[in-house]
Amino acid sequence: MKKVIILFLLVVLIIGCDNNVEPTPPKTSGEITINSKVVNFKTKGFSFSQGDLVEFPNSQNINPDLFLLVQTTAENDIAGVFFSPPNNQPSFRLLAQLNDADSANNYFSELSELPDTTYDLLALPLKENQIWAVKNQDNKYAKLLIKHTEAYMDSSIQNSPTPYGEAAFKWNYQPNGTRSF
């Protein structure tokens, strides 16, 4: 009887253990804040496939899809912030500039397909309540809603003011390469 119980428990244990652990599906949407800070000759860009900020350069050779940079005038005044791709490939198209956050959120939510259009090298200038289409280096698409931008001269290092920029955005990525969301 003891052998039957032990055998029964072993069968239940083996059958009850599910070794098929499904991989976590890639993140395809979210909200994030990116800045233009350079630390130890490294910056952070945003990668849609990673769904997060990625230090660049990095040992995994992951290229971000976009970097945030600060636009300055000839007089070195701060003009604003913009996105740039890592590879000089036209990647950005401004789709809409809305007057308020509610209208921008509605437009972003209802945007189900990106237009088949040409793309610009830079997303310039970035402003709140803009909707941008992004085509990354792998010819996959994303849409962005700019929630907030900030740019100023950072004087925290004495005698070495540095342009600093920040942008918060909502994003939605289509990893299958279509323009549909």
Question: Is the predicted pLDDT of residue 26 greater than 90, yes or no?
Answer: no
**Total structural domains in the chain?**
1
Please state the pTM of the whole predicted model. 0.85
Name 31's Cβ contacts closer than 8 Å, sequence gap at least 6.
Answer: 147, 168, 169, 170, 171
The SS3 assignment for 8 reads helix
Q: What are the pLDDT digits (tens) for 44-87?
A: 999 999 999 999 999 999 999 999 999 999 998 999 999 999 99
- Residue 16 belongs to some domain of the structure: no
Question: Is the predicted pLDDT of residue 12 greater than 60, yes or no?
Answer: no
Name 69's Cβ contacts closer than 8 Å, sequence gap at least 6.
Answer: 36, 81, 82, 83, 84, 165
Q: Rounded to whole angstroms, how far apart are CA atoms 105 and 3?
A: 65
- Residue 169 belongs to some domain of the structure: yes
- Residue 18 belongs to some domain of the structure: no
- Residue 32 belongs to some domain of the structure: yes
26/37: higher pLDDT: 37
Name 155's Cβ contacts closer than 8 Å, sequence gap at least 6.
Answer: 161
Residues 138-153 have a mean pLDDT of 98
pLDDT at position 14 is 58
- Residue 52 belongs to some domain of the structure: yes
pLDDT at position 23 is 72
pLDDT at position 151 is 98
Supply the range of the domain harboring residue 145: 28-174
